[in-house]
Chains A and B, each alone.
Chain A
Amino acid sequence: MQKSTLLLLLLLISAYAFHLGRKRARDIVLGKVKTLHSLPNYYGYYTALWSLLPALLLLILWLGFETPVINHMVMESLPDGSQALSADIKGLLINDIRNSMNAGGSDTKPELQAAVEFLRLLKIRSGWLLSFLAVALAFVGAYFARSRIHKEHRARNLVENTIMSFLLGSSLIAILTTVGIVLSVLFESIRFFDKIPLTDFLFGLQWSPQIAMRSDQVASSGAFGAVPLFTGTLLISSIALVVAVPIGLMSAIYLAEYASLKFRSVAKPLLEILAGIPTVVYGFFAALTVAPFIRSMGADFGLDVSSESALAAGLVMGIMIIPFVSSLSDDFINAVPQSLRDGAYALGATQSETIRQVVIPAALPGIVGGILLAASRAIGETMIVVMAAGLAANLTANPLEAVTTVTTQIVTLLVGDQEFDSPKTLAAFALGLVLFLATLALNILALHIVRKYREQYE
């Protein structure tokens, strides 16, 4: 039976169980619902939960353990000689058997024929056994819950406690995600630093992750010095901030202080569209339009501009993060109390003087927080740099040359064939760790500043 059909069946059974429980509760008190501890529906929910949850638990456990158990049984069934094989070979063998079963058994090696047949049989049996057990468990649960219903039964509390644990569990997923990120990136990084020393990675000036297959291969030294990636990331992010901060900040000032309500209600959402456009679109725009434009401009001035210049990627990234700067700054400028402005006007300051000398200094912590958030966004941005920045790890501060970034290298290292024991693949996780820590530090700092600032005027 298909798993989805089984799931649907279980849901149907639990709907039946709901009906069963509610009816039972009504019958027990002969229709005098008021004498029950909980409303009849809660007895229904109680029965339905008893019917659904154990069966679902069984389903999940079964799916988790099905493959290893079946593999073990298939290996046991093989002739004696194969028991002595090493674990790796056994894994390959199992893969072989599974593949030839999926292919329909047409090109099976004759010596594996029996195993393939056995595997198919096991899979079918396992499917039926699971369906039977799950359905049986659902009914057993339903009737067990039904038998426990009596007048004083605290069904509502039991149901609410179950819902509460679901709510609590859901809110823990966020924590689990963070733990998962840290652990997955950390473990692979530790394996990487076993092969390449941490100092070489953090302070090395040479990045060429291709490892030579033959000793005479050119340009494949397998050097993992990440400094060129860090400088490249910083260069592109700085260009982006140079574009975004003035434009974003001035827009925010105009929107918050000068613009009429009508203009503001049109211009603000329009500006925020910039942050909603998928980054792949910006990447396409940068690679197809902006980079050639900058290149030909450079040629007009007699400059040699690389076709994957840091300038093109940085400019477009800057456009993307304008709304991050502007909407946060806008919020904080609006949060500055009107009394401060009135005080400045009373002293004879013009509006722009008030803004420059009173409002902005008062809102500065918030604005800085916003800029830090935008910087963290720029550092972690992937698609624009993958499509518009280069792959060559040049150590340069010249925005007209091609540089590469941490995110570009992660993508390059992980897209395509991977072996999980080569330093090349593991390097991507080490870069990921650096990226995660850097953005985390920026975010925590920014959120801390923002939070502290918010409290100041509340």
Chain B
Amino acid sequence: MNNPKEDSQLSNLGIRTHQIVKAGLPRRRAAETRFKAYGLICIVAGLGFLVLLFGNIISHAWSAIEQTYVALDVTFDESLLDPEGKHDSAVLAAADYPALLKKSMSALFPEVKDRQQKRSLNGILSKGASYELQRILVKDPSLLGKTERVWLPVDDDVDMLVKSQIDRSVDEGDRRLKDYQIAWIDKLMADGRLEKRFNRQFFTSGDSREPELAGIQGALMGSLFTLMVTAFLSLPIGIASAIYLEEFAPRNRWTDIIEVNINNLAAVPSIVFGLLGLAVFINFFGLPRSSPLVGGLVLTLMTLPVIIIAGRSALKSVPPSIREAALGIGASQMQTVFHHVLPLAMPGILTGAIIGMARALGESAPLLMIGMVAFIVDVPTGLMEPSTVLPVQIYLWADSSERGFVERTSAAILVLLAFLITMNGLAVYLRKRYERRW
């Protein structure tokens, strides 16, 4: 049986195989290292993009914390403001404040005589400066006739120059500010009349065409109302349908269809929900365009699949023994679910719901369809009023050509991201705090 010749052939073969394998090893080990490195590089690239994105936005946004103000000595001239001496607040409110500003400006720069130049001198001030004066005087009518030093917002171009975001070395023709204007600004700065202060306006006012007057409060309120409608509708409906599908639905073709349908809805492009909202809620039911109510309804339909899917998996993770125990001591099916299963699944459901809400907060495409892109100055106070939401406000500002809107857009993005991070952080906390391992 044992043929020594064959044996030695086999062992020769074994040695040869061994040699071949050994010769290939360095190449294979190098390939191994390379492969591993590719993986690491890809993760680093992905995280690098994240850092780049955040860094880019923060670097654009930080300057929006401050807004440049100019100190003007304004004489609240009685003969100009209240020629009949009635001290009536209606008269004071309607008075000619731009004239006051013009007087103070030419007192600062008496050498400017040319009409064109005078106009651009007054252009240093923001268009909202006269309203600021009005506000000050209506608040404190005793200032009438006195001279006060007031701090007023400057125009966005001046603001940009002070924040060194306009390059002085650029050719005069390509710059938004002419050389003589820069000279005035430098003089104001040397006099200590220009100062950067905390930008309160950004958090307390609505939209505006002037970057220095524009704020996010209107958009924030709009987002709040829209999200309230969404939460109010999508939470009960989402939880109810998750309970039905997971606990009560018979396993048949119909529930299969509903299930496939929900999974598909979760992947339908958001803009299609906008088309639905436009055709059904606005054209068919005649609900008001641009209103948080319609926005909330559209976002409800969009977030429902997310909440249902999360809810079902949370309910599924409650072990059957809980149900059996409850049924065993005589609870009805409904009592079993509502008294025992649902409370145990609630943290998981809420986590999913918060993530769904965070997605709804960041969504803008469907809201463009239902007219929430209108330019709205007033801060909305109800569900039926035209309003916009934070992401759409970002879109609108990003489209504006003024240089001053870049920093405000970035700042608005930071506010939005802060909300999203808070919501997601809350979801993670809920999961960590209340998650149960069975």
Contact = CB atoms under 8 A, between A and B. Distances in A.
Given A188-B279, A444-B264, A352 B395 contact: no
B334 A164 contact: yes
Given A248-B46, A280-B394, 16 more contacts: A167-B248, A175-B257, A187-B279, A254-B36, A254-B39, A267-B43, A280-B391, A287-B398, A350-B29, A351-B32, A351-B36, A353-B28, A386-B368, A411-B365, A415-B373, A443-B264
B391 A185 contact: no
B249 interface: yes
Interface string B188-223: 000000000000000000000000000000000000
Most buried by A among B279, B280, B283: B279
A206 interface: no
B93 interface: no
Interface in A69-124: none
A277 B269 contact: no
Contact of B40 (A254, A326, A436): A254
Interface stretch (B146-154, B239-247, B315-323): B239-247
Given A173-B241, A435-B271, A383 B50 contact: no
A379 interface: yes
A407 B53 contact: no
A106 B53 CA distance: 54
Contact of A250 (B28, B39, B280): B39
Interface string B387-409: 00001101100110000001001
B420 A439 contact: no
Contacts of A253: 39
Given A170-B240, A171-B258, A414 B369 contact: yes
A439 B398 contact: no
B272 interface: yes
A381 B364 CA distance: 11
A289 B371 CA distance: 28
Contacts of A271: 43, 46-47, 50
Most buried by B among A170, A281, A440: A281
B31 A171 contact: no
Interface of A: 67, 156, 160, 163-164, 166-168, 170-175, 177-178, 180-181, 184-185, 187-188, 246-248, 250-251, 253-255, 257-258, 267, 270-271, 273-274, 276-285, 287-289, 319, 322, 326, 348, 350-353, 355-356, 373, 376-377, 379-383, 386-387, 407, 410-411, 414-415, 420, 428-429, 432, 435-436, 439-440, 443-444, 447
A160 B49 contact: no
A348 B22 CA distance: 12
B42 interface: yes
B358 A411 contact: no
Interface in B277-310: 278-280, 283-284, 286, 301, 304-305, 308
A409 to B, nearest CB: 11
B413 interface: yes
B97 interface: no
B156 to A, nearest CB: 17
A250 B308 CA distance: 31
Contact of B406 (A171, A288, A322, A353): A288
| Nearest 10 Cβ contacts at the A-B interface | A380-B269, A254-B39, A278-B362, A184-B279, A171-B241, A170-B240, A382-B365, A352-B35, A250-B42, A167-B244
A284 B394 contact: yes
B69 interface: no
B50 A439 contact: no
Interface string B51-91: 00100110010000000000000000000000000000000
Most buried by B among A280, A411, A428, A440: A280
Interface in B250-289: 257-258, 260-265, 267-273, 275-276, 278-280, 283-284, 286
Contacts of A353: 28, 31-32
B279 A429 contact: yes
Nearest to B355: A276
A173 B46 contact: no
A248 B262 CA distance: 26
Contacts of B46: 247-248, 251, 271, 274, 319, 322, 326
A244 B420 CA distance: 24
A382 B395 contact: no
B316 to A, nearest CB: 14
B228 interface: no
A440 B272 CA distance: 11
Contacts of B361: 278
B334 A160 contact: yes
A250 B240 CA distance: 40
B265 A352 contact: no
Interface residues of B, number: 86
A385 to B, nearest CB: 10
A113 B261 CA distance: 53
B384 to A, nearest CB: 11
Interface string B14-40: 000000010000001101100110111
Given A251-B39, A271-B47, A285-B57, A379 B269 contact: yes
Nearest to A186: B279
Contacts of A267: 43, 47
Contacts of B395: 280, 283, 383, 386-387
B198 to A, nearest CB: 24
B275 A184 contact: yes
Nearest to A156: B332
Given A280-B362, A281-B394, A443 B261 contact: no
Contact of B36 (A181, A184, A258, A411): A258
A274 B364 contact: no
Most buried by B among A180, A258, A387: A180
B160 interface: no
Nearest to B49: A319
B268 to A, nearest CB: 6
A167 B413 contact: no
B262 A174 contact: yes
A322 B276 CA distance: 29
B182 interface: no
Contacts of A386: 365, 368, 395
Nearest to B391: A280
Given A175-B258, A285-B57, A352-B32, A280 B364 contact: yes
B409 A284 contact: yes
Contacts of B416: 278, 281
Given A174-B265, A251-B46, A407 B279 contact: no
Contact of B280 (A184, A258, A279, A348): A184
Contacts of A376: 267, 269
B240 A350 contact: no
B226 interface: no
29 contacts: A167-B241, A168-B244, A170-B238, A173-B237, A173-B304, A175-B257, A185-B272, A251-B46, A254-B40, A254-B43, A258-B39, A270-B47, A273-B50, A274-B49, A278-B364, A278-B416, A280-B398, A284-B398, A284-B409, A285-B56, A319-B49, A351-B36, A383-B364, A386-B368, A414-B275, A415-B371, A429-B279, A432-B272, A447-B264
Contact of B267 (A181, A288, A439): A439
Nearest to A381: B269
Most buried by A among B46, B305, B368, B391: B46
B240 A171 contact: yes
B107 interface: no
